[in-house]
Structure 1
Amino acid sequence: MSDAAEFIDEALRRESTWIRAEEARARLGDGLRQYGSSIGAIRGTVRDALRRHPGLAHDEVTALSSELWETPVFERRLAAIVLLQSNVHLLTNTDLTRLEGFVREGRLRELVDPLAVDVIGPLIAGLEGQPRARADGVLDRWAQEPDEWLCRAALMSPLRAFRAGGGDWEAFVRRATAALDAAPESGGEADVVREAVDAVLNEVAKRRPELQFPSSAA
Protein backbone atom coordinates (compact mmCIF):
# COMPACT_ATOMS: atom_id res chain seq x y z
CA MET A 1 0.00 0.00 0.00
CA SER A 2 1.31 3.46 -0.87
CA ASP A 3 2.09 5.94 1.90
CA ALA A 4 -0.88 8.12 0.96
CA ALA A 5 -3.33 5.20 0.85
CA GLU A 6 -2.01 3.87 4.16
CA PHE A 7 -2.40 7.30 5.77
CA ILE A 8 -6.01 7.58 4.55
CA ASP A 9 -6.91 4.05 5.60
CA GLU A 10 -5.43 4.42 9.09
CA ALA A 11 -7.11 7.81 9.60
CA LEU A 12 -10.49 6.45 8.53
CA ARG A 13 -10.14 3.56 10.94
CA ARG A 14 -9.27 5.94 13.79
CA GLU A 15 -12.31 8.08 13.02
CA SER A 16 -14.67 5.10 12.95
CA THR A 17 -17.34 4.06 15.46
CA TRP A 18 -19.21 0.78 15.58
CA ILE A 19 -22.51 2.66 15.91
CA ARG A 20 -21.98 4.47 12.60
CA ALA A 21 -20.78 1.23 11.03
CA GLU A 22 -24.01 -0.53 12.04
CA GLU A 23 -26.10 2.39 10.80
CA ALA A 24 -24.25 2.38 7.48
CA ARG A 25 -24.69 -1.37 7.14
CA ALA A 26 -28.42 -1.05 7.72
CA ARG A 27 -28.66 1.71 5.12
CA LEU A 28 -26.28 0.37 2.48
CA GLY A 29 -26.62 -3.39 2.85
CA ASP A 30 -23.93 -6.03 3.11
CA GLY A 31 -22.26 -5.53 -0.26
CA LEU A 32 -19.38 -3.53 1.23
CA ARG A 33 -17.63 -3.38 4.58
CA GLN A 34 -18.04 -0.23 6.62
CA TYR A 35 -15.55 1.38 8.97
CA GLY A 36 -18.13 3.75 10.41
CA SER A 37 -16.33 7.02 9.55
CA SER A 38 -18.39 10.18 9.09
CA ILE A 39 -18.57 12.09 5.80
CA GLY A 40 -16.77 14.97 7.47
CA ALA A 41 -13.98 12.67 8.60
CA ILE A 42 -13.60 11.28 5.09
CA ARG A 43 -13.33 14.74 3.55
CA GLY A 44 -10.95 15.91 6.25
CA THR A 45 -8.77 12.83 5.84
CA VAL A 46 -8.43 13.33 2.09
CA ARG A 47 -7.65 17.00 2.65
CA ASP A 48 -4.95 16.08 5.17
CA ALA A 49 -3.51 13.47 2.80
CA LEU A 50 -3.22 16.05 0.02
CA ARG A 51 -1.41 18.40 2.40
CA ARG A 52 1.03 15.63 3.33
CA HIS A 53 1.58 14.77 -0.33
CA PRO A 54 1.38 18.11 -2.17
CA GLY A 55 1.64 18.44 -5.91
CA LEU A 56 0.30 15.02 -6.87
CA ALA A 57 0.21 14.72 -10.65
CA HIS A 58 -2.50 13.12 -12.75
CA ASP A 59 -1.08 9.60 -12.72
CA GLU A 60 -0.48 9.71 -8.96
CA VAL A 61 -4.01 10.90 -8.24
CA THR A 62 -5.68 8.32 -10.46
CA ALA A 63 -3.46 5.52 -9.15
CA LEU A 64 -4.29 6.48 -5.55
CA SER A 65 -8.00 6.56 -6.36
CA SER A 66 -7.79 3.03 -7.75
CA GLU A 67 -5.81 1.87 -4.74
CA LEU A 68 -8.45 3.23 -2.36
CA TRP A 69 -11.29 1.84 -4.45
CA GLU A 70 -9.82 -1.64 -4.80
CA THR A 71 -10.57 -2.63 -1.20
CA PRO A 72 -14.36 -3.09 -0.86
CA VAL A 73 -14.86 -0.69 2.05
CA PHE A 74 -17.48 2.04 1.65
CA GLU A 75 -15.44 4.79 3.30
CA ARG A 76 -12.35 4.02 1.22
CA ARG A 77 -14.38 4.20 -1.97
CA LEU A 78 -15.99 7.46 -0.92
CA ALA A 79 -12.51 8.79 -0.12
CA ALA A 80 -11.46 7.88 -3.67
CA ILE A 81 -14.37 9.95 -5.00
CA VAL A 82 -13.48 12.92 -2.77
CA LEU A 83 -9.88 12.66 -3.97
CA LEU A 84 -10.97 12.78 -7.62
CA GLN A 85 -13.40 15.61 -6.91
CA SER A 86 -10.56 17.63 -5.36
CA ASN A 87 -8.39 17.03 -8.41
CA VAL A 88 -10.96 17.00 -11.19
CA HIS A 89 -8.97 19.69 -13.04
CA LEU A 90 -6.29 17.06 -13.68
CA LEU A 91 -8.64 14.53 -15.27
CA THR A 92 -9.14 13.98 -18.99
CA ASN A 93 -11.59 12.14 -21.20
CA THR A 94 -9.39 9.03 -21.11
CA ASP A 95 -10.10 8.75 -17.37
CA LEU A 96 -13.72 7.88 -18.16
CA THR A 97 -12.63 4.27 -18.62
CA ARG A 98 -11.49 4.12 -15.00
CA LEU A 99 -14.60 5.95 -13.83
CA GLU A 100 -16.82 3.57 -15.77
CA GLY A 101 -15.27 0.72 -13.81
CA PHE A 102 -15.97 2.55 -10.56
CA VAL A 103 -19.63 3.07 -11.54
CA ARG A 104 -20.08 -0.56 -12.57
CA GLU A 105 -18.69 -1.71 -9.22
CA GLY A 106 -20.25 1.03 -7.09
CA ARG A 107 -23.93 0.08 -7.50
CA LEU A 108 -25.03 2.36 -4.68
CA ARG A 109 -26.63 5.78 -4.96
CA GLU A 110 -24.23 6.98 -2.28
CA LEU A 111 -21.27 6.20 -4.55
CA VAL A 112 -22.59 6.50 -8.10
CA ASP A 113 -24.30 9.87 -7.61
CA PRO A 114 -21.27 11.77 -6.26
CA LEU A 115 -19.13 10.13 -8.93
CA ALA A 116 -21.53 11.37 -11.60
CA VAL A 117 -22.33 14.82 -10.20
CA ASP A 118 -19.03 15.83 -8.63
CA VAL A 119 -16.46 14.07 -10.83
CA ILE A 120 -17.79 12.96 -14.22
CA GLY A 121 -19.93 16.04 -14.87
CA PRO A 122 -17.24 18.63 -14.00
CA LEU A 123 -14.62 16.60 -15.89
CA ILE A 124 -16.70 16.71 -19.07
CA ALA A 125 -17.68 20.35 -18.60
CA GLY A 126 -13.99 21.25 -18.62
CA LEU A 127 -13.28 19.57 -21.96
CA GLU A 128 -13.28 21.12 -25.41
CA GLY A 129 -12.89 19.99 -28.99
CA GLN A 130 -12.18 16.36 -29.79
CA PRO A 131 -11.78 15.27 -26.13
CA ARG A 132 -15.25 16.70 -25.40
CA ALA A 133 -16.76 14.98 -28.43
CA ARG A 134 -15.26 11.66 -27.35
CA ALA A 135 -16.50 12.13 -23.79
CA ASP A 136 -20.01 12.93 -25.04
CA GLY A 137 -19.89 9.74 -27.08
CA VAL A 138 -19.03 7.79 -23.94
CA LEU A 139 -22.05 9.22 -22.11
CA ASP A 140 -24.29 8.43 -25.09
CA ARG A 141 -23.13 4.83 -24.84
CA TRP A 142 -23.65 4.69 -21.08
CA ALA A 143 -27.23 5.90 -21.50
CA GLN A 144 -27.97 2.90 -23.72
CA GLU A 145 -26.15 0.32 -21.61
CA PRO A 146 -28.09 -2.51 -19.96
CA ASP A 147 -26.27 -1.58 -16.75
CA GLU A 148 -28.75 0.74 -15.03
CA TRP A 149 -26.03 2.36 -12.91
CA LEU A 150 -24.13 3.52 -15.98
CA CYS A 151 -27.39 4.96 -17.30
CA ARG A 152 -27.89 6.75 -14.00
CA ALA A 153 -24.36 8.17 -14.06
CA ALA A 154 -24.83 9.49 -17.61
CA LEU A 155 -28.08 11.19 -16.64
CA MET A 156 -26.92 12.64 -13.32
CA SER A 157 -23.61 13.97 -14.66
CA PRO A 158 -24.91 17.37 -15.94
CA LEU A 159 -26.77 18.21 -12.72
CA ARG A 160 -24.21 20.74 -11.47
CA ALA A 161 -24.07 22.43 -14.86
CA PHE A 162 -27.85 22.76 -14.98
CA ARG A 163 -27.86 24.22 -11.47
CA ALA A 164 -25.34 26.81 -12.63
CA GLY A 165 -27.40 27.79 -15.67
CA GLY A 166 -25.39 25.79 -18.22
CA GLY A 167 -25.46 22.19 -19.39
CA ASP A 168 -26.33 20.52 -22.67
CA TRP A 169 -30.11 20.13 -22.48
CA GLU A 170 -30.47 18.46 -25.88
CA ALA A 171 -27.90 15.82 -24.93
CA PHE A 172 -29.70 15.15 -21.64
CA VAL A 173 -33.05 14.73 -23.40
CA ARG A 174 -31.48 12.38 -25.93
CA ARG A 175 -29.83 10.25 -23.24
CA ALA A 176 -32.83 10.26 -20.93
CA THR A 177 -35.14 9.20 -23.74
CA ALA A 178 -32.82 6.35 -24.70
CA ALA A 179 -32.41 5.22 -21.09
CA LEU A 180 -36.15 5.32 -20.34
CA ASP A 181 -36.95 3.43 -23.53
CA ALA A 182 -34.51 0.69 -22.53
CA ALA A 183 -35.55 0.50 -18.86
CA PRO A 184 -38.16 -2.03 -17.72
CA GLU A 185 -41.59 -0.70 -16.79
CA SER A 186 -41.05 -1.16 -13.06
CA GLY A 187 -38.70 -2.67 -10.51
CA GLY A 188 -35.26 -1.85 -9.16
CA GLU A 189 -33.58 -1.18 -12.50
CA ALA A 190 -36.35 1.14 -13.66
CA ASP A 191 -36.30 3.04 -10.37
CA VAL A 192 -32.54 3.65 -10.60
CA VAL A 193 -32.95 5.26 -14.02
CA ARG A 194 -36.24 7.10 -13.44
CA GLU A 195 -34.98 8.58 -10.17
CA ALA A 196 -32.06 10.11 -12.06
CA VAL A 197 -34.32 11.61 -14.72
CA ASP A 198 -36.67 13.00 -12.06
CA ALA A 199 -33.77 14.48 -10.06
CA VAL A 200 -32.55 16.44 -13.07
CA LEU A 201 -36.06 17.49 -14.18
CA ASN A 202 -36.93 18.71 -10.68
CA GLU A 203 -33.76 20.82 -10.57
CA VAL A 204 -34.37 22.21 -14.05
CA ALA A 205 -38.00 23.04 -13.23
CA LYS A 206 -36.85 25.18 -10.29
CA ARG A 207 -34.02 27.00 -12.05
CA ARG A 208 -34.72 26.88 -15.79
CA PRO A 209 -38.45 26.34 -16.35
CA GLU A 210 -38.13 27.28 -20.00
CA LEU A 211 -36.50 23.89 -20.65
CA GLN A 212 -39.23 21.35 -21.32
CA PHE A 213 -38.81 17.59 -21.40
CA PRO A 214 -40.90 15.91 -24.15
CA SER A 215 -44.04 14.51 -22.50
CA SER A 216 -43.88 11.43 -24.72
CA ALA A 217 -40.51 10.51 -23.21
CA ALA A 218 -41.42 11.03 -19.57
Structure 2
Amino acid sequence: MTSDSRNRTHTIAEAVDRDLRARGGSERAQKERAYLKSELLHYGVSVPDTRAVVRAALRTAKLSHDEVIDLTRTLWAAPTSSDDSAGNGNSTVAGPAGRPTPVHERRAAATMVLIQSKDRLGGGDADFIEGRLREAKTWALIDPLAGDLIGPLSERDAAFGPVLER
Protein backbone atom coordinates (compact mmCIF):
# COMPACT_ATOMS: atom_id res chain seq x y z
CA MET A 1 0.00 0.00 0.00
CA THR A 2 1.33 3.40 -0.92
CA SER A 3 1.67 6.26 1.52
CA ASP A 4 -0.94 8.16 -0.54
CA SER A 5 -3.40 5.30 -0.03
CA ARG A 6 -2.62 5.13 3.67
CA ASN A 7 -3.08 8.90 4.02
CA ARG A 8 -6.35 8.64 2.13
CA THR A 9 -7.75 5.91 4.39
CA HIS A 10 -6.66 7.79 7.52
CA THR A 11 -8.36 10.93 6.22
CA ILE A 12 -11.55 8.93 5.64
CA ALA A 13 -11.29 7.38 9.11
CA GLU A 14 -10.89 10.81 10.71
CA ALA A 15 -13.94 12.08 8.83
CA VAL A 16 -15.98 9.05 9.92
CA ASP A 17 -14.87 9.54 13.53
CA ARG A 18 -15.73 13.25 13.42
CA ASP A 19 -19.19 12.54 11.94
CA LEU A 20 -19.88 9.80 14.48
CA ARG A 21 -18.90 12.06 17.38
CA ALA A 22 -21.14 14.82 16.02
CA ARG A 23 -24.12 12.44 15.92
CA GLY A 24 -23.47 10.96 19.36
CA GLY A 25 -25.04 11.73 22.69
CA SER A 26 -23.73 11.07 26.18
CA GLU A 27 -27.04 9.77 27.57
CA ARG A 28 -27.43 7.24 24.76
CA ALA A 29 -23.74 6.32 25.13
CA GLN A 30 -24.20 5.48 28.81
CA LYS A 31 -27.31 3.39 28.10
CA GLU A 32 -25.62 1.51 25.24
CA ARG A 33 -22.55 0.77 27.28
CA ALA A 34 -24.65 -0.58 30.14
CA TYR A 35 -26.92 -2.59 27.82
CA LEU A 36 -23.99 -4.17 25.99
CA LYS A 37 -21.94 -4.55 29.21
CA SER A 38 -19.17 -3.04 27.17
CA GLU A 39 -15.68 -1.97 28.14
CA LEU A 40 -15.44 0.08 24.95
CA LEU A 41 -15.98 3.81 24.76
CA HIS A 42 -19.39 4.66 23.28
CA TYR A 43 -20.25 7.83 21.38
CA GLY A 44 -24.01 7.16 21.60
CA VAL A 45 -24.73 6.95 17.85
CA SER A 46 -27.63 4.89 16.52
CA VAL A 47 -27.00 2.06 14.06
CA PRO A 48 -28.90 3.87 11.26
CA ASP A 49 -26.81 7.02 11.83
CA THR A 50 -23.60 4.98 11.83
CA ARG A 51 -24.70 3.30 8.60
CA ALA A 52 -25.40 6.71 7.04
CA VAL A 53 -21.94 7.99 8.01
CA VAL A 54 -20.27 4.93 6.46
CA ARG A 55 -22.37 5.11 3.29
CA ALA A 56 -21.48 8.78 2.86
CA ALA A 57 -17.77 8.06 3.40
CA LEU A 58 -17.73 5.20 0.90
CA ARG A 59 -20.00 6.83 -1.69
CA THR A 60 -17.17 8.52 -3.57
CA ALA A 61 -14.14 6.71 -2.11
CA LYS A 62 -13.88 3.71 -4.50
CA LEU A 63 -11.48 1.93 -2.16
CA SER A 64 -9.13 -0.82 -3.29
CA HIS A 65 -8.88 -4.07 -1.35
CA ASP A 66 -5.85 -2.83 0.60
CA GLU A 67 -7.57 0.47 1.39
CA VAL A 68 -10.64 -1.38 2.71
CA ILE A 69 -8.42 -3.40 5.04
CA ASP A 70 -6.44 -0.33 6.16
CA LEU A 71 -9.61 1.70 6.78
CA THR A 72 -11.05 -1.19 8.78
CA ARG A 73 -7.87 -1.48 10.86
CA THR A 74 -7.82 2.25 11.50
CA LEU A 75 -11.45 2.43 12.58
CA TRP A 76 -11.17 -0.74 14.68
CA ALA A 77 -8.25 0.69 16.65
CA ALA A 78 -8.63 3.24 19.39
CA PRO A 79 -8.77 6.82 18.11
CA THR A 80 -5.48 8.64 17.86
CA SER A 81 -4.89 12.07 19.33
CA SER A 82 -5.61 13.62 15.90
CA ASP A 83 -9.10 12.12 16.10
CA ASP A 84 -9.80 13.93 19.38
CA SER A 85 -10.56 17.30 17.85
CA ALA A 86 -14.34 17.01 17.68
CA GLY A 87 -14.84 18.73 21.00
CA ASN A 88 -18.29 17.31 21.76
CA GLY A 89 -17.37 15.82 25.11
CA ASN A 90 -16.71 12.34 23.73
CA SER A 91 -12.97 12.39 24.24
CA THR A 92 -10.76 9.35 24.18
CA VAL A 93 -10.27 7.72 27.57
CA ALA A 94 -7.39 5.57 28.65
CA GLY A 95 -8.06 1.96 29.44
CA PRO A 96 -6.19 -0.40 31.76
CA ALA A 97 -2.48 0.07 30.84
CA GLY A 98 -3.01 3.75 30.05
CA ARG A 99 -3.75 3.01 26.39
CA PRO A 100 -6.66 4.68 24.57
CA THR A 101 -9.89 2.71 24.59
CA PRO A 102 -11.39 1.53 21.29
CA VAL A 103 -14.81 2.96 20.39
CA HIS A 104 -17.86 0.81 19.78
CA GLU A 105 -19.25 2.97 16.96
CA ARG A 106 -15.89 3.07 15.19
CA ARG A 107 -15.80 -0.73 15.32
CA ALA A 108 -19.39 -0.85 14.08
CA ALA A 109 -18.37 1.46 11.23
CA ALA A 110 -15.38 -0.79 10.45
CA THR A 111 -17.74 -3.76 10.33
CA MET A 112 -20.02 -1.87 7.96
CA VAL A 113 -17.06 -0.97 5.73
CA LEU A 114 -16.21 -4.67 5.43
CA ILE A 115 -19.82 -5.64 4.71
CA GLN A 116 -20.30 -2.92 2.11
CA SER A 117 -16.97 -3.83 0.49
CA LYS A 118 -17.30 -7.62 0.57
CA ASP A 119 -17.02 -7.76 -3.23
CA ARG A 120 -13.33 -6.85 -2.77
CA LEU A 121 -12.68 -9.46 -0.07
CA GLY A 122 -11.81 -13.12 -0.40
CA GLY A 123 -10.26 -16.14 1.23
CA GLY A 124 -6.98 -14.32 1.82
CA ASP A 125 -8.84 -12.09 4.26
CA ALA A 126 -10.22 -14.93 6.38
CA ASP A 127 -7.64 -14.59 9.16
CA PHE A 128 -8.04 -10.80 9.26
CA ILE A 129 -11.83 -11.10 9.57
CA GLU A 130 -11.51 -13.84 12.17
CA GLY A 131 -9.32 -11.47 14.18
CA ARG A 132 -12.12 -8.88 14.18
CA LEU A 133 -14.59 -11.55 15.33
CA ARG A 134 -12.36 -12.61 18.20
CA GLU A 135 -11.72 -9.02 19.30
CA ALA A 136 -15.38 -7.95 19.01
CA LYS A 137 -16.52 -9.37 22.37
CA THR A 138 -20.11 -8.29 21.82
CA TRP A 139 -22.98 -9.73 19.84
CA ALA A 140 -23.62 -6.25 18.42
CA LEU A 141 -20.44 -6.62 16.32
CA ILE A 142 -20.22 -10.41 16.02
CA ASP A 143 -23.70 -10.85 14.51
CA PRO A 144 -23.13 -8.59 11.48
CA LEU A 145 -19.56 -9.86 10.99
CA ALA A 146 -20.71 -13.48 11.02
CA GLY A 147 -24.07 -13.21 9.31
CA ASP A 148 -23.63 -10.36 6.85
CA LEU A 149 -19.95 -10.82 6.02
CA ILE A 150 -18.55 -14.29 6.67
CA GLY A 151 -21.79 -16.04 5.68
CA PRO A 152 -21.86 -14.62 2.14
CA LEU A 153 -18.07 -14.83 1.75
CA SER A 154 -18.03 -18.49 2.81
CA GLU A 155 -20.63 -19.31 0.17
CA ARG A 156 -18.28 -18.18 -2.59
CA ASP A 157 -14.87 -19.06 -1.11
CA ALA A 158 -14.01 -22.32 0.65
CA ALA A 159 -11.11 -20.62 2.49
CA PHE A 160 -13.63 -19.45 5.08
CA GLY A 161 -14.44 -23.05 6.05
CA PRO A 162 -11.67 -23.29 8.66
CA VAL A 163 -12.76 -19.94 10.15
CA LEU A 164 -16.29 -21.26 10.53
CA GLU A 165 -15.00 -24.49 12.04
CA ARG A 166 -12.93 -22.62 14.62
Q: Report the TM range for the smaller structure's normalisation.
A: 0.7 to 0.9
Give the C-alpha shift of residue 83 in structure 1.
0.7
With structure 2 as the length reference, what TM-score do the two structures score?
A: 0.77
Cα RMSD for the two superposed structures: 1.3
- Which runs of 5 or more residues in structure 2 are unaligned? 1-6, 79-101
1:77 aligns to 2:84 (yes or no): no
Task: In structure 1, give the amino acid aligned to 2:150.
Answer: I
Aligned partner of 1:110 in structure 2 is: 140
Assess if the C-alpha contact under 8 Å between 2:153 and 2:160 holds in 1: no
Aligned partner of 1:137 in structure 2 is: 162
User: Looking at both structures, which has the greater relative contact order when contacts are Cα pairs under 8 Å and sequence separation is at least 6?
Assistant: 2
Aligned partner of 1:123 in structure 2 is: 153
Give the C-alpha shift of residue 29 in structure 1.
2.0
The 3-state SS of whatever aligns with 1:32 is: coil
Query: How many residues align structurally?
Result: 135
Q: Distance in 2 between matches of 1:97 and 1:63?
A: 15
Give the C-alpha shift of residue 31 in structure 1.
1.1
Aligned partner of 1:22 in structure 2 is: 30
Q: Greater Rg, structure 1 or structure 2?
A: 1
- Which runs of 5 or more residues in structure 1 are unaligned? 143-218
Give the C-alpha shift of residue 70 in structure 1.
1.1
Q: Distance in 2 between matches of 1:104 and 1:39?
A: 21
Q: Distance in 1 between matches of 2:151 and 2:38?
A: 29
Give the C-alpha shift of residue 112 in structure 1.
0.8
Give the C-alpha shift of residue 125 in structure 1.
1.4
Q: Deviations over 1:161-185 (max 9, x none)?
A: xxxxxxxxxxxxxxxxxxxxxxxxx
Q: Deviations over 1:28-59 (max 9, x none)?
A: 12410000011111000000101242x21111
The 3-state SS of whatever aligns with 1:36 is: coil
Percent of aligned positions that are identical: 40
